Amino acid sequence: MNRINSSFKKEGGSFMAISQPNPKVPPTNRLSCESMLFGGIPTKPVPQYDRIWLEQFSTHIHQNFSDSGLRIPDLAERFTTSESSLLRRVKRLTGLTPAQFLRQIRLQYAMTYLQEGTYDSIREVAYKVGYQSIDGFSRKFKQQFHKLPSELLNSN
């Protein structure tokens, strides 16, 4: 099995690795530790230490997603590992690179802010979720959700 392309499923109280993510689960729903460990056909148990590590990693991202200075080298240092080891571990556990993982969390928060009307402008939302470039934010948002942030902002 290619470890880099694996996802996870909870089966009978234990977590199981699978070879391919469930196509019925959109990537935007794979944001928390628990949601990342579900979906597909089980092939082997996921060690408890990996579950704990992913929960700590996910918690750190959720607590710091609005920091536009949050970078992969900083995450590697925070979790006392090399960038390449961080990449391999996050990819093995989630199917996403650390940058993709961070981006998805940021964009999910942005979606929530826009749907709830928490902020009055796209600029405010972009800065709140850690983007310095409004154009970059809008482009990634459209790639992820197939809608421009302005469409959601104007619908409120």
Q: Can you give the pTM of this predicted structure?
A: 0.71
b/e 26-58 (16+ beta carbons within 10 angstroms → b): eeeebbbbeebbbbbebeeebeeebbebbeebb
Q: Could you report the per-residue pLDDT of 74-98, keeping only the tens digit for each?
A: 999 999 999 999 999 999 999 999 9
Q: Could you report the per-residue pLDDT of 16-53, keeping only the tens digit for each?
A: 333 334 443 334 333 344 444 433 344 467 789 999 99
Whole-number pLDDT of residue 12: 43
Whole-number pLDDT of residue 153: 83
Q: What angle do CA 118, 116, 67 make, to 5 degrees?
A: 50
